[in-house]
Structure 1
Amino acid sequence: MRRRSAGPVGAPRQVGPGAVERGRETPGSAHGDWLTLGRDGRLSLYVPTDGGLVRWTETAVGGPEWSGPHFVAVAGLTHLTVTQGADTYVHFLGRRERERADGALGVDIVHAIQYQTGLAFTEWRSLGNPHRDREQGRELGRPVGAVAADGTVHVFVPNAHGGLSLRRESPTGKWRAWEDLRGSGIDEPPATVALAAGRLEVCAAAASGIFVWRQTAPGGDFDGPQGFALRPTPGTVTALETGPDRATFFWTDADGGAAAWRAGDWPAALGGSPARQPYASLRTAVDGYDCVVLAHRDRDGSVVLGMGGTENEGGGFWWYGLGEPCQGVPALARDGRGRVVMALVGPDGAPKVARQEDGAGLTLARWQTLGH
C-alpha cells in the first residue's frame, strides 16, 4: 500500500488542565487498540473528548514519563475507534454527526492516520455513508477497523438494516465503494482480527447467535456470514490470533462469565465476572509460557484482569479483581521493553497506566495517573 502524505492538518496541540473531562461527547475510552506501541518503542494512548481526542506519549522507551495531553480536533465525533497495523501506523475511525446546509443531521464515517509516534495526524477524510437514504444513514453504528498484513485498511460498520457494511482500500491505496456483507440483527460493533498470513476474520453477535465472515484469501472477498447457534452477550466479543492463521473469539456468555471459541469447536468456559463491553486482549509470554491476557470492566465498574494458556482453556483461567474503577474498556499492550501495560480511563476522565513488575508471574505495579 502506498504511503500517504502526512501534512500539518490534524496536528496535535497542547491543552490545559481539565480539557479531557469538559463536555465529553464520547465518555470513557475509545474502542479498539487505544494503547499502541510505535516503531520507536514508545507507547501512546488516545482518549475521546469533546470536539476530538487527546493523546499522551511516552517520552522514552519504557517510560515512566509521558508527554501530553495533546488535543486533536474533529468536530461532531460521536464514536472513536483506534486500530493499528503491523507497520505500526495508527488508524483512527470515527462516526461523525454534522448539520447540513438544509438543517438536517448528516452522519458519515471519518478516517485519519498517525504515521509516527507523537507526530501529526493526516487530515480527517470522510468515507461517506453506505446508505443513500438520509434517515437510514442516521442509524449507522460505530465503525471498527482492521489493517491487513499488507497495510490495507478495512472499515466495518453495522448498518440500518441490521447487517454489516464494509469499505476498504484497494492495493493502490484508493478507497473502494461500500460493500454489503449482509447479516441480520447486528446492533453492536463486531470483533475483527487481522491474521499474520494476510486474511481477516470478523465475528458479530446477533439475536440469533453469532455471524462469522472469513476472507477467502489475502485481499479477497469475504465468505459468509456463517451463523452459529451460540449465545454471547452482544457488545462483548473480542478477537485474537492464537495460532497460525487461526483466531479465537472471546465473549461474555449469556449464562455469565467469559468464554473462548474457535471455529470447529465448542465454547470453553473461562469463568470470571461478566463483562458488558468488549474484552481487551493480548497474547504474550509469562514465565516462558504462551499466554492470553484479558481485561474488562465488571458490573461494579472496576477493572478485572484474567490470564491463561493460549488455546489451553482446559488448563484453567485465572481472574484478579484490581479494585481500580474505570470508564469504558481498558487497553492492553506491551511496552518497548516487553512488559505488559494496562491503561484505563478513571471516573474523572484521566487516564491511568500500570506496568508489569519484574519477577515471576504477571503482577502490575502501582497505577500512574497521566497529567491533564
Structure 2
Amino acid sequence: MRASSVRENGRQQQSSGSEAASFTDRLPAALSGPWLLRGHDGRLIVYTHVDQAVLRWTESRVGSRDWLGPDVLPAKGLSHLTVAQGRNRYAHLLGRRVRTAKDGSLTVDLTYAIQYQAGRPLSEWRSIGNPHAKRERTALLGAPAAAVGADGALHVFAPTAEGRISMRREDAQGRWESWLDLKVTAALDTPAAAATSTGRLELLAPARTGALAWHLGEPGAAPERGYDAAVVPLPGSMTGVETSPGRVTFYATDVRTGEMAALRAGEWPVPLGGNPGDGRHAAVMTTLDGYPCTVLAHRGADGRIMLGVCVAEDERGGVWWTDTGKACVGDPVLALDGYGRVVILAVSADGSMALARQEDGQGLTLSSWTRI
C-alpha cells in the first residue's frame, strides 16, 4: 500500500446562498467533526460543527470532484455534536445544548435532528432531555455518543455525574424510552458505541483501570456488562467498527504505552503502533486484493495523517502503516464512496476541507489531495 504525497414546511431551513458563500474563503473554527457519510443515493456528505451552526457539503454526483455547499444549518447553543448513521442511511445529528436562564444559571439537554436524504434540509431539532432530574445538575452531563441499531432505533449514551453512563433509546414504534442508568461509577468520558448488521450493539467507556464494556444482543434487549478490556483508553480516542458479521473491534490509544490497540470482546488487546497523537481513530471496512481488510487513520504525534491497513481481525499479522505527509487539524475520517472506494477527509492546516480517494490498482493507493 502507498499513499500519494499525497427546505420544507415544518422543517428547519438551510441558509441562503449568500450566507453560505461567506464561509467559502475561510471556514470558522470547527468545534467538533468532521464527519463523512454516504447518503441514500450514494453521494458523500460532510458535516462539521462550528459556533451556532452545522456546515454541510454534498457531492454534486456520486464520485464527483465537485461539491455543493457549504450549507449552513442553524444549531444554536450546541457545545458538542456527534453524527450517527444507520443502515437506512439517515443521518442522526445529536448535540449537547447549553442555555442560560434569566437568573444566569445553565440548563443543559440533548437535542437531535435527522437528515433523511442527501442535500435535503434537516428535521427540526427535538430535545430528549437530560438524565439528571435536578436542573442545577444538568450541566454535569458530558458529551454524548450515539449508534443506530439494525432496526433503525437511535441509541444515545451520555456520561453523567460520578462517572455514570446513562442510555436512552427509541422503541420499536419510534417512541423514546426512559433514561436507563448503566450502573457504573468509574467512567471517565464519552463512550464509543457501534452497531452490527446482525442486531448486536456494543459500548466501550474509558475508565482509570481499563475500558468498561456492555453489549445488547439484539434490538430492544437490555444492556449487559461484558468483560472489561485491559487497556486504559485515552479519552476521545476510541472508535468501533463491525469487522465481521456480529463482531465489533474497537480501536483506541493505550494511555500506558502511547500506542494504538485493537480491542475485541473475549480476546486480548493487540498493540498496533501507529504513533498516534491525542485524537480519535477512524476505521472502515473494505476489500483489497480479494481480502476483507480494515483501513485505519489518525493524526500522528507529528500532526500528519497516518494510514494503516490490516486483514480484518488479523491485526497480529501486522498493520501496514503509511505516513501520508498530509498535515491536518483535528481528526481525519474515513468512508466508502458510492463506488466502494476508500475516501479519507481531513481539515487542512489552513482550515479548508481536503480529501483523497482510492485509485484503481492493487492494494490501497490514494489520489492526490483535493480541496472541497
What SS does structure 2 have at the residue aligned with 1:175?
coil
**2:215 matched to which residue of 1?**
214
**2:78 matched to which residue of 1?**
77
What SS does structure 2 have at the residue aligned with 1:138?
helix
**1:101 matched to which residue of 2?**
102
**1:227 matched to which residue of 2?**
228
Classify 1:18/1:244 alpha carbon distance in 2 versus 1 (closer, same or farther; 3 Å). Answer: closer
Are positions 1:281 and 2:283 aligned together? yes
Structure 1 runs of 4+ off > 4 angstroms? 19-24
Are positions 1:325 and 2:327 aligned together? yes
Classify 1:313/1:197 alpha carbon distance in 2 versus 1 (closer, same or farther; 3 Å). Answer: same
**1:194 matched to which residue of 2?**
195
In structure 1, how many angstroms separate the alpha carbons of the residues matched to 2:273 and 2:227? 27
Q: 1:8 offset after TM fit, Å?
A: 4.5
**1:135 matched to which residue of 2?**
136
Are positions 1:27 and 2:28 aligned together? no
- What percentage of residue pairs aligned between the two structures are identical? 45
What SS does structure 2 have at the residue aligned with 1:149?
coil
In structure 2, how many angstroms separate the alpha carbons of the residues matched to 1:59 and 1:50? 26
Segments of 5+ residues of structure 2 without an aligned counterpart are: 1-7
Superposition RMSD on alpha carbons, in Å? 1.9
Q: Look up the equivalent residue of 1:365 and give its one-letter code.
A: S
The alignment's TM-score, normalised by the length of structure 2, stands at 0.92
In structure 1, how many angstroms separate the alpha carbons of the residues matched to 2:27 and 2:325? 26
Does the aligned pair in 1 maintain the 2:263–2:270 contact within 8 Å? yes
- Map Cα deviations across residues 303-326 of structure 1 (whole Å, 9 max, x no partner): 111110001112210111112222
Classify 1:134/1:67 alpha carbon distance in 2 versus 1 (closer, same or farther; 3 Å). Answer: same
Q: 1:250 offset after TM fit, Å?
A: 1.2
Q: 1:343 offset after TM fit, Å?
A: 0.8
Bigger mean CA deviation after superposition, 106-115 or 6-15:
6-15
In structure 2, how many angstroms separate the alpha carbons of the residues matched to 1:22 and 1:342? 19
**1:179 matched to which residue of 2?**
180
**1:18 matched to which residue of 2?**
23
Does the aligned pair in 1 maintain the 2:27–2:352 contact within 8 Å? no
Q: 1:333 offset after TM fit, Å?
A: 0.6
Q: 1:136 offset after TM fit, Å?
A: 2.5
In structure 1, how many angstroms separate the alpha carbons of the residues matched to 2:343 and 2:206? 29
What SS does structure 1 have at the residue aligned with 2:136?
helix
Bigger mean CA deviation after superposition, 296-305 or 148-157:
296-305
Bigger mean CA deviation after superposition, 61-70 or 257-266:
257-266
Does the aligned pair in 2 maintain the 1:328–1:345 contact within 8 Å? yes
Segments of 5+ residues of structure 1 without an aligned counterpart are: 1-5
In structure 2, how many angstroms separate the alpha carbons of the residues matched to 1:53 and 1:196? 29
In structure 2, how many angstroms separate the alpha carbons of the residues matched to 1:173 and 1:318? 43
What SS does structure 2 have at the residue aligned with 1:314?
helix
